[in-house]
Structure 1
């Protein structure tokens, strides 16, 4: 009898486990976000991957000049930002160099960088960091982005005036639409707009406001932290908003698929 009772008890354990797994699966189906991180957890996780991009010149005052935001990708030694953030010329005579600024608050580390790959059509650039330990790299999403989807982006909207403090904004994808909107009159076309119409591609329009310092910030899923786009405040303003009499405060982002393609061009594997 003792042996029989023992057999029945052991048989119940797998059954209890099965019931628990079914119940857990039902909770996750009813609330898909239950197994994912909230935005505060996501921000804390991705913050070490956000860097400031600019130039550094030791004898200049101030020595650091902020130009935009970037984020770490691939092997932890590369940074993605907007191509327009990179200056056309550096004052090499006085040893000015392209750099990223890593850290938080007043504790900032300067790392020199060089261009690894560039995509002027989508206004993207990959920078290679010189020396130092690798930083945590952000993963790129390959999921379809839908209108109405919640998003967040983290960067430096006012630069490094008060130190290196990344700022997070959240919103939704208001629309997925072509970058360049055809004008009804040929008189409104200029060579720049004609070129953009030839190379038109879809971008994400957001209901959250970004500022010039946010150029190059990662746009990501607030639950997973996976990057779905790159904030851009110049290329797209010259495209979509050029048809407006007065430029609006609409924010746009370049889809992450173009980042993935640029990483392949640089011989790098995205996470």
Structure 2
């Protein structure tokens, strides 16, 4: 099947062009499609009415002939006697108590029995019938924890974004603008481990793309929601906004059917109030009660209160699946690069990446990082789960192992930590690390249930990787 947009030859059963992502189905407008559906409905009703009338005409019994004059009176008496016996027998049966109802037989038009249906309550007393169990909803901390394992930071030579595991063959979904102009990218998991990825699908109309990561093959993907989601649904947005990897924010779906045309065509997308920021692009929007992915976070309007927009996953699922079955070649991906020449912030064909580009510590971002670290550390203590803070620490460092051990020690002892003060008193920036000095306080309930006010003077040692991400390598307490 030829694509009427780019001329690419596609499989006869394909729904989307594997080259440009253009729909191969009828290009009629929504109004035209709606009209065709109405015509089909009218046609079905017409056919149904005609068929019903015809069946009634065919099944109408012939007019009864007048009784034969030759019928003997003896024959009439015999028939009358049989009728009286039948009526008497029926009356006796109706007076008998009904013990167990017989199965109801469903007969086909030809009179043959298709099957039987027996109501459970006719056999099993109500008191002995099993109770219906409603599916248990997951709590938000569990959903966040499970989802974060399959949410990734996408790194290119031009910047970074987010993505999530879409298919068990190691395919990661993201926004097209995250990987625009690149065929090879780096995909980082929650533990800070980097894996090479290859773009195998990208659209120049819809802002979606698909990345193949061999290291993720065999991992069960996040579950997709295949139906529209209602306004008012509580949602969780995950991604790596402003360099803070695997951040989760909570809000509500506040609008639907929003349309934009901003480099890409966005139709019927979701509006959310869960905070997102540059770097969140490509991350999943998750239903806070089911854990299913309902959207791909794509846009943010930074006028007044932050308003975000997410592409409904059910509307893009067919195109992503098309790339799963028919991945684009590197040449096909490269052929699309010219589409993004005018994008602000993306590279043109003359751009050369400088591998020696120096990343520098910034005082404001260091302060923000320490604030975020303190928030996730408090969450880790409250949930008694090291997971919430592990990706902010240098892996297997003394502070990494120390916090891991401490959280294990307090687990199950019903201790409480209510942080109420964080004051940054100084910052020192060196060539390969930075020191951030703080004054902190928190209310603490010990194992015996006794409360106390704890005050600490701390020094955070912070290092930075080649991509500009911060990690805590040490914390010194000065009591």
Q: 1:80 and 1:215 mapped to 2: Cα distance?
A: 11
Evaluate the alpha carbon distance shift between residue 138 and residue 53 of structure 1 in structure 2; reply closer, same or farther with a 3 A threshold.
Answer: same
The structure having more radius of gyration, on CA atoms, is 2
Evaluate the alpha carbon distance shift between residue 247 and residue 122 of structure 1 in structure 2; reply closer, same or farther with a 3 A threshold.
Answer: farther
Pairing of 1:30-45 with structure 2 (within 5 A): 35-45=136-146
Partner of 1:265: 322
Partner of 2:187: 100
3-state SS of paired residue (2:243): coil
Q: 1:249 and 1:216 mapped to 2: Cα distance?
A: 18
CA contact (8 A) 2:239 2:283 kept: yes
Q: CA deviation at 1:211?
A: 0.6
3-state SS of paired residue (1:144): coil
Q: 2:216 and 2:246 mapped to 1: Cα distance?
A: 21
**Structure 2: unaligned runs, 5 residues or longer:** 1-123, 327-479
Q: 1:263 and 1:48 mapped to 2: Cα distance?
A: 21
The number of aligned residues is 203
Partner of 1:77: 170
Partner of 1:51: 152
Q: CA deviation at 1:77?
A: 0.3
Asked whether 1:169 is paired with 2:226, we answer no
What TM-score do the two structures reach when normalised by structure 1?
0.65
RMSD, aligned CA: 2.9
- Name the structure, 1 or 2, with higher relative contact order (CA <8 Å, separation 6+): 1
Q: CA deviation at 1:139?
A: 1.2
Partner of 2:205: 121
3-state SS of paired residue (2:321): helix
Evaluate the alpha carbon distance shift between residue 54 and residue 147 of structure 1 in structure 2; reply closer, same or farther with a 3 A threshold.
Answer: same
Q: 1:132 and 1:204 mapped to 2: Cα distance?
A: 29
What TM-score do the two structures reach when normalised by structure 2?
0.39
Pairing of 1:215-230 with structure 2 (within 5 A): 215-230=281-296
**Structure 1: unaligned runs, 5 residues or longer:** 1-12, 29-33, 57-64, 91-96, 181-191
Q: 1:89 and 1:142 mapped to 2: Cα distance?
A: 30
Q: CA deviation at 1:120?
A: 2.5
Q: 2:224 and 2:167 mapped to 1: Cα distance?
A: 9
3-state SS of paired residue (1:114): strand
Give the one of 247, 251, 257 matched to 2:308: 251
Q: 2:289 and 2:248 mapped to 1: Cα distance?
A: 14
CA contact (8 A) 1:203 1:254 kept: yes
Pairing of 1:124-143 with structure 2 (within 5 A): 124-131=208-215, 133-143=217-227
Partner of 1:207: 273
- In the TM superposition, what whole-angstrom CA distance separates every residue of 1:51-99 from its partner, at most 9, and x where no partner exists? 110137xxxxxxxx85101000112401001111114258xxxxxx411
Partner of 1:147: 231
- In the TM superposition, what whole-angstrom CA distance separates every residue of 1:84-122 from its partner, at most 9, and x where no partner exists? 1114258xxxxxx41101232xxx221111111112322
Q: CA deviation at 1:137?
A: 0.7
- In the TM superposition, what whole-angstrom CA distance separates every residue of 1:115-161 from its partner, at most 9, and x where no partner exists? 1111232210000013465333111101221111111111111325x
- In the TM superposition, what whole-angstrom CA distance separates every residue of 1:177-202 from its partner, at most 9, and x where no partner exists? 2323xxxxxxxxxxx76x86xx5511
Q: 1:212 and 1:78 mapped to 2: Cα distance?
A: 23
